[in-house]
Amino acid sequence: MINRIRDIRRAKNLTLADVAERCAPPTTAQTIGRLETGMRNLSLVWMNRIAAALEVAPELLVRAEAEPPAQFVARLAENGAEALSSPRDAILPSVLGGDGALMALAVEVGAGEYRAGDQVWCRRAEPADFARLLNRDVLAPRSGGRFAFGRMIDRTPRGDGGSRIALLPPGPGQRQVVIDNPPWLAFTEMLVRAL
């Protein structure tokens, strides 16, 4: 099992000392650091204490080595959706279930109904399911490791079995993006917004 304490702590902008202080009873930052790095075994008691301090379900602190983590693959910036220089693990909200790989889009610059700081969770769909994604916001891969994000407003089947899709990016004044034969689309399933 892989320990995810550090990823969750960093995603919540907490220091080792913050987590140590939030534990009941409080502990030291050094102990939390040793638990994070695996220098000290993560017992069930410690797992419950740290999960309560981080305000997450205890099962989120560990994951199986074979299980690929959900990842942030793109960010929504001033010029639209952009690929991250390298994907990073994302903390999965416990309410998401279902089929298809999950990925997340980090919104850095507000556009349309999306605000800076939002996390947009998307579920991957294969070409056979594209027709049901009309009028949904989707993340679409483009050539060169790039992405497009927007409302899917059109899907035109092609003679070779592929399809051409049209996306309308969020925010005013943005031009329609047409993508020829995307291998997959990821439709928005959950918006996570800090209060």
Kindly report, residue by residue over 102-127, the tens digit of the pLDDT: 888 888 888 889 998 888 988 899 98
Same structural domain, 30 and 103: no
Nearest to 116 by CA among 171, 164, 180, 71: 171
Same structural domain, 105 and 159: yes
Both tokens of residue 111?
Answer: 């556009």
H-assigned helices in 55-186: none
Rounded to an integer, the average pLDDT of 81-107 is 74
Domains of the chain: total: 2
The CATH number given to whatever domain includes residue 42 is 1.10.260.40
Measured distance CA(142)–CA(153) in Å, rounded:
17
- The SS3 call for residue 153 is strand
Same structural domain, 98 and 51: no
Same structural domain, 106 and 24: no
The count of other CB atoms within 10 Å of the CB of residue 40 is 14
pTM of the model: 0.57
Note the pLDDT tens digit of each residue in 142-192. 888 889 999 999 998 877 777 899 999 998 888 999 999 999 999 998 888
What's the angle, vertex CA 133, arms to CA 129 and CA 134, rounded to 5? 130
Q: Of 31, 63, 95, at which residue does a domain stop?
A: 63
Q: What is the reported pLDDT for 187?
A: 93
Q: Which domain holds residue 19?
A: 2-63
